[in-house]
Amino acid sequence: MDLQLMAALSNADAIASNEGEVRTILRDYLKPVDLKVQTDGLGSLIFTKRTVKPAFSVMIYGHMDEVGYMVRTITPEGLLRLMVVGGVKPLASHWQSVRVTTVSGKKLPGMVIRDESLAAFDQILCDVGANSAAEVAALGITIGDMVTFSTDFTEYAADGVFGGKALDDRLGCYVGARLLQELAKDELPFTLRFAATSSEEVGIRGAKTATQLIQPDLAFIVDVATFQNPRERSEVNQRQVGSGPILTHFDRTLAPNRTLQQFVKETAATASLPLQLDMFNGGGTDGGEAHKVGVGIPTVVTILPCRYGHCAQSLAQAQDVDQMVALYAAMCRRLTVATAEKARSF
C-alpha cells in the first residue's frame, strides 16, 4: 500500500463543496498517467483513461468530502458557533481537537466542545484560544470557514492497521487513483473513468452531476462502512477489518444490479480474493444518485471495512485496501461487452 498517498489524502481537509486540497493531491499523483481530467459544476474531479476503440464506458466513484463543521457565528467571548456538515456523531463533538481553515488557506488549531445547556442549534462551539470576537477576526476567521478534525494519519503497531480522519471516503479516492496507475499500460475494451465526487456527505450531490455529465454505461462505487459494535467478531458482522472488501446487496438508496453483483463475486473467486457480503437497512452511497440518472444505470457498491466512522478517527487495514485495488484491477481486465449488455438486459 502507498501509505504516503493515503496519509496525504487522510490529512487533507475537505468538507462538502470545499474539496480543493483533495483535488490537488489526486491531480498531482495521477499526473504521470495519460489521462483526460475534467470537473463537473460542483467540483467533482473525473479522470478518463484513453482507449482506442471503446465499446462501452465504466465509471468508478469515491467521494472526496468528509464530515465536519462550518463556522456559523462568532460569540462576543471569542468562541465559534459551528454548524455540522454531514453526519458527525454527537459524541464526536465533545472535547476533540479540530482545525479551522480560513478563506486564505491559513490553518488554525482549536477544540470543539458541546454545551448541552444551550438549545440544540447552539450547542456546538469551537475554542481557538481567543477571548473576544475582535481577536477571532484578527486571526482571519470568518463566517463560513471550514472546520475539520485535526487527527494525524497514524500507522498502528498492529500489522497493516492505520488510523486517520476522513477515511470515509478518502479510501475510495485512494482505490480509484491506485487503480488508474495499476492499469496505465492495459488496453481495455471500454472507457474507464474515476470520479472523485463532491458533497456525498450532504446528500450524494456530486455523484448525480458527475453521472449526468459522463453518462456511463456501468457504475461501480467504492465507499466505507463500520459495524455498530466494533467488538462483534461473529458472522453477524460482515464488515470486519482485515477480512477483505465488502459487496453490498441493498441500502436505503439502492438495490444494486444483480448481474454486476454476480460479476463481482465471480471475479473475487477467480482472483482468490476474500469478499464479505453485507446489506444495510439505512445509509447510502454515491450509487444512490448515480443509478437514477437518465434511463437508469446498472450500479453496484463495494465497501471497505473500518472501525469507527463519522468521528475524529477511523481504523482500517492496508491488506483490505490492497485487495480492493486488486479486485477492481481483476474486474477491469475481465469485463466484456457481453457482461455490460447482460447488466442492461431484463
Tell me the catalytic residues: 200
Whether residue 19 is annotated as binding a ligand: the answer is: no
- 168 marked among binding-site residues: yes
∠ CA(24), CA(226), CA(151), 5° rounding? 45
- Asked whether residue 94 is marked as a ligand-binding residue, the answer is no
Count CB neighbours of 36 within 10 A: 11
Between CA 332 and CA 191 the distance in angstroms is 10
310 is in an annotated binding site: yes
Closest CA to 266 of 319, 327, 323, 322: 327
Residue 273, burial from CB neighbour count under 10 angstroms (0-12, 13-18, 19+):
middle
d(C-alpha 1, C-alpha 317), whole Å: 10
- At residue 45's C-alpha, the angle toward residues 253 and 314, to 5°, is 60
Taking 3-state DSSP, the helix, strand and coil percentages for the chain, each rounded to the nearest 5, stand at: 30, 30, 40
291 annotated as belonging to a binding site for a ligand: no
Determine contact, residues 246/313, Cβ cutoff 8 Å: no
152-191 CB burial, b ≥16 within 10 A, e <16: ebeeeeeebbbbbbbbbbbbbbbbbbbbbbbbeeeebebb
CB 316 within 8 Å of CB 167? yes
- Helix 318-334 vs helix 167-182: angle between axes, to the nearest 10 degrees? 50
Cell 463481482, residue located: 264
Residues forming the annotated binding site for Zn(2+)? 63, 168, 201, 223, 310
Residues forming the annotated binding site? 63, 168, 201, 223, 310
